[in-house]
Amino acid sequence: AQSVTQLGSHVSVSEGALVLLRCNYSSSVPPYLFWYVQYPNQGLQLLLKYTSAATLVKGINGFEAEFKKSETSFHLTKPSAHMSDAAEYFCAVNGGSQGNLIFGKGTKLSVKP
Amino acid sequence: EPEVTQTPSHQVTQMGQEVILRCVPISNHLYFYWYRQILGQKVEFLVSFYNNEISEKSEIFDDQFSVERPDGSNFTLKIRSTKLEDSAMYFCASSVGFLNEQFFGPGTRLTVL
């Protein structure tokens, strides 16, 4: 069965600092992996996805993630945090045959001025 | 830009009452999903819907739940007899294909008293 673990429910960084949000997955089949962002009072928005092409995936807003099969990881990074990046971030893996997503618990990112 | 819409944004109901949550997916999308997020917990898959029938459902989606696409635009989730533990944020999502990006609505916050 597929699952996702996000390490750290809350991460705080200073503006301009590196953002690193961790995600490890478990999957019995080659996974499709996703990062979604949720701003307050809004729905989930796709940041990026891995679908077995390039292992380094670039997304919107300067975020990228690297798929590492040996470490079963798909960590999200951004070189320089911006105040507007403050939000909750969810890692997800494809679940069943109809594309349902299995989400991690989420990591709330705070950005300090 | 097309978006998924959900109504109402907040619904308060008494335990044992029936509620219907409404969603309007993006018009050319073929796959529809409901997820829920209990406060402080992860986003959980409930059900997927394709070609006018349920294609997959989780163990959460018991006989109290049903989904319907009554016309060409709406996608509804009905909870027949609400329980306190049904209090959660309910998200609707849609996608063109089952491995394509899922677009999420802003959610309906359901409070069962």
Q: Is the pLDDT of residue B11 over 90?
A: yes
Q: How are beta strands A10-14 and A107-112 bridged, if at all?
A: parallel
**pLDDT value, residue B71:** 86
Give the closest-approach CA distance of A91 to chain B in angstroms: 10
What pLDDT shows up at residue B58?
92
B99 touching chain A per CB within 8 A: yes
User: Which letter does DSSP use for residue B41 in this model?
Assistant: S
Cβ contact, residue pair A44, B45, below 8 Å: no
Question: Which pair of structure tokens corresponds to residue A59?
Answer: 């997304």
**Which pLDDT tens digit goes with each residue over B76-111?**
999 999 999 999 999 999 999 877 889 999 999 999
| pLDDT greater at residue B71 or residue B32 | B32
pLDDT for the residue numbered B14:
97
Kindly state whether B75 is in contact with chain A, defined as any CB-CB distance less than 8 angstroms.
no
Please indicate whether, in this complex, the C-beta atoms of A90 and B104 are within 8 angstroms of each other: no
pLDDT at site A2: 84
Nearest CA in chain B to A37: B104
The answer to whether the Cα torsion of B28, B49, B16, B71 is positive or negative is positive
Point out the residues of chain A with pLDDT beneath 50: none
* Locus of tokens 């961790």: A22
The residue whose two tokens read 């917990």 is: B41
At residue B102, φ and ψ (nearest 5 deg) are -95, 130
Rounded to the nearest 10 degrees, how much is the dihedral formed by the CA atoms of B48, A24, A78, A10?
90
Nearest to A43 among B33, B58, B107 (CB): B107
Residues B44-69 pLDDT 10s: 999 999 999 999 999 999 999 999 99
Q: With contacts defined as CB-CB under 8 Å, which chain A residues touch B103?
A: 46
Single-letter amino acid code for the residue at A44: L
Q: Closest residue of B to A48, CA-based? A: B101
CB-CB under 8 Å, B106 with A103 = no
CB contact under 8 A, B42 and A45: no
